[in-house]
Structure 1
Amino acid sequence: MFLKLHAPDDYINYLLTAEFRTTLDHNDYRNLQQYKRGLQGEGKFYNLIKDIKGIVCLWDLVLNINGEVQYDFLIISNKRIIHIDIKNYSGIYHYQDGNFQNESGYVHQGLISQLERAHTKLEQFVKHHNLDYQVFSRLLFINPNFRLDHYTGDKRIIFLHQLDTFLDYLRQKTYSDIDVQTGHLLCNHHSPISRNRIHYYPYETMIKGVQCKQCGAIGTFVAQTQRIMMCSCGSLISKEAYILQAIDEITLLKTTPFKRKELNEYTKVNISTIKRYLKKYCNIVGNNKSSRYVKNE
């Protein structure tokens, strides 16, 4: 049972929406690619455990316990909380003194110490809330193309070839009402990471158009029927959902109230239909020619 799924934070959500509409600067591009690689690995693990019946799971939780700590997965069952930190590294790595060095010489420092810090913070949370739980933390290297040389062994580290054994262990578990309550307690203390954007890219220079969630293309939808829009890849979406997605994208990219004309140009939907959905989903700011729209909270 999953009580919480991953959702990108505001910064990443902005980059995902802006990525193919403009040229991202080096830092934004690097951060986005790191996020995608990490999410790919987490997604693999999610698909492996999502149908296991006897566990309560949280995907992507942030606790503020004298500082923010992010947890990829928390698995709750039988008075145990298992923290799984996913790493989607690929290639040959050299292991020395808890550090991981790739073939290019880049050293990933502190992976074990970060795991230990998260583990200690989670134990503090358990103790503070008088929970009768043991905490276990594991670092999972999930990429099949990952290899670690000179590894001397550490029970906190799991490799892909060991994953079936761990999954079999989870399949034997059963959760209780207390486990569900503990999961909800942790969710209630989720504190999304707050990150300040370095800058927003000029909306005027961006490629406009609704982005297909299936193929990623921008501005390729046409009306299939009066109420259905179709992307060039064949993906279908209702006209209402299409316009609502456009409102969300413009709101995110423009960062200021938008004009009705801008939504019309963004969607290629006629003005009368635009008016109807603006009235339903947005509040108007200003009068006449100076009117702008903001999405309802």
Structure 2
Amino acid sequence: MLGQVNPVAFNLFGIAVYWYAVIIVSGIVLAVWLSSREAVRVGLKEDDVIDFMLWGLPSAIIGARLYYVIFQWQDYVDNPIEIILTRNGGLAIYGGLIGGGLALFFFTRHRFISTWTFLDIAAPSVILAQAIGRWGNFMNHEAYGPATTRGFLEGLHLPKFIIDNMNIDGTYHQPTFLYESIWNVLGFIVLLLLRRKKNFLKEGEVVLSYVIWYSFGRFFIEGMRTDSLYAFGSIRVSQLFSLVLFFGAIIILIIRRRNSSVKFYDREKGTVKKAD
């Protein structure tokens, strides 16, 4: 359709390389760079972050795929070979966070690094990468909301290329990808501001703040999407998971805040300690 963005960035040896992949990889590279810089500030090494990616990235991709397949099993039960064909779509961010989180737990235990500190290092970078990644959904013409009018989109003062790309099969839709991207950028800024305040957050509270912020926004934005995964009939999986994460993170934060043995997150080089 005239005015819509071509999801294919370029062709390499006859294979189409999609903007989705280019944008996702760009977000990951930026996240690794930012996390590496923060790691050095707290007394770790850049290599700790880079080495983790050898564990975390494959685990995140597998987790993202399995999460999607589990809740869309009816699409794969008769043709299971489709499970490994990720070029056809089907990755879920919550599954990626679960897979990457499990890999991080075992990696930090293997390296004798505080899991909470490593999570605090990664959290702002991860939410920024998520903000960037949502533009991959935009390029793929997916992760959009209910039908709306062009007048409504113009009233949001959006650039023309976004408005045109929200015309899906002749109908304009809410740009929920953009809502989440903006929410995540705001979360990135909030986390940086919180992390910079000395003796304000205890170890683990940067990542818990990330979970609270992201899950709160995702709950409402997910409710607008037209491509949600469902469980138990009409319950949106990501909304249910968001509620669990939101309240779970608050409870853990309260418990850790009351625990006097949990140290404050310290960004001064060479002072990282193992959490109690």
What range is the shorter-chain TM-score in?
A: under 0.3
**More strand by percentage:** 1
Bigger Rg, structure 1 or 2? 1
Q: Which structure is richer in relative contact order (CA contacts within 8 A, separation 6 or more)?
A: 2
**More helix by percentage:** 2
TM-score with structure 1 setting the length? 0.25
TM-score with structure 2 setting the length? 0.26
